[in-house]
Structure 1
Amino acid sequence: MELARIKESVEYVKGILNDEPEIGIILGSGLGVLAEEVEDKVIIKYADIPNMPTSTVKGHAGQYVFGKLNGKKVIMMQGRFHYYEGNKMETLSLPVYIMKNLGVKNLIVTNAAGGVNTEFKPGDLMLINDHINFAFNNPLMGKNEEEIGPRFPDMSEAYSKDLIKLAKDVASKLDVDVKEGVYLMMTGPTYETPAEIRMVRALGGDAVGMSTVPEVIAANHCGLKVLGISCITNMAAGILDQPLNHAEVIETSNRVKNTFIKLVKEIVKSM
């Protein structure tokens, strides 16, 4: 991602905000409702920001929401961009670099995912402890901007162990049952075949989805600490022998939204 394009986007957003956010939050499919909890909010449409693509998926509002959540200054992506929408992989890194340049230090990345681990069930929340990149592409391909981060970023702790422990402690205090596992990204937009899901399980994946990995790579590149949370909205293909559809994803997200909101708000408060 060219530094000049990032700076142009950042300057536009800084011209609207009068404060620095501490925590960035990316809201996945059906999870945008958390943005309604933000106080003193300032909304910036992606369409108004130079160099930003538009979010085309139903359930993704397509805007930054800045304000306070449980006393902490946050900036949320209410809706994200996906590789399958035709975006270049490097484009998916731009919102993360914007947040970093605004002052964000910790990033919470959420998504809706299919459960591969047969001990999971729809409605479970999974803390991501690692990922597998099956998009076979990387947002850092091409010229590296040393001002952003190193040419070869370390990914041995892509998801912060400290933030995972914090999230577990918060979940325990709230009596919220959380799972933990590995997220595997496929490009989509098709759901995976049963044979592909058997492969994912053999490779060590616990959940599968079509997002998150590019943003997490970018976050590690620029030095953000990451906490990842997957909402298991359905069991992946072949596990329950039933067809998959996006409506089910949104329906399950809505069903668990109160638990999700309660958990994330308390995590933010504890950061």
Structure 2
Amino acid sequence: MAADAPTEVPLSEVPLSEFDRDTAVTRRGPAEPGVYDADLSAGWTIISAVNGGYLLAVLGRALGDALPHSDPFSISAHYLTPSVPGPAVIRTDTVRTGRTLSTGQASLFQYAEDGTEVERIRVLASYGDLDALPDDVRTTAAPPALPPVDQCFGAGDASEGAPPVPGSSAITERLALKIDPATLGWALGRPSGKGEMRAWFELADGRDPDPLSVLLAVDALPPTAFELGLIGWVPTVELTVHVRCRPAPGPLRVSITTRNLAGGFLEEDAEVWDTKDRLVAQSRQLARVRLSQSRPVR
């Protein structure tokens, strides 16, 4: 029946951006309310899995359509199993709706080789209207001191002296990262021992940032574990992002720090700043590291 035909969730503008196309979701018909189909792109993989920030943006788009409010304010994700490129199903549920905030949850599923359904990610989020927030800002936070873009290094430049890491690096082709040289000791075989990473962030096709691409930005830089002398995959266990305002056009500045690695886990705290020197997003994630894969800190 025509009433049950799948409906692609409309984007805010013509989807010229690869990010918009690859995070698109299709709403199923009324017989399956709150259920969306997605196709996870291989273009956003790193080492052996689909990037966690990209996945969060896919789920974020589905929740923005399912809930009465469209902008993510706070979104927390638990990564249960590694996602792979290919078809996925997202099931959303509205937990609560209010005048200024809505709360929803969502899970992303894929199918194993034997046909059984596997849950990859589970998300709980609060949504609202970023444009309705008051302008009053009182903060002691300050933008990171990054060199000009032309004095920073792209992902390809940064990896020239780094130890080879087997697997996919497809995501680097979709990002225009320019990394602060002060956080590139790992690429030269001289990790600083400081858990810091800073970079200018843009999508490679020039698409301006929005709340969904900010969900990607907090998880798009090389892991801070590299500057601690560790190499290899650093899979995310849990990631929480707070979006504070709608970003202005232009490149974002992303700063990520780690203060504690213990028991094979570390935290990463990220801040995202826009061209108007506004703190547009903050995040914290818990990630697992492989302590057997390390190189000396100098």
Give the TM-score taking structure 1 as reference length. 0.28
Higher Cα Rg, which structure:
2
**Which has a greater percent of strand?**
2
Give the TM-score taking structure 2 as reference length. 0.26
**Which has a greater percent of helix?**
1
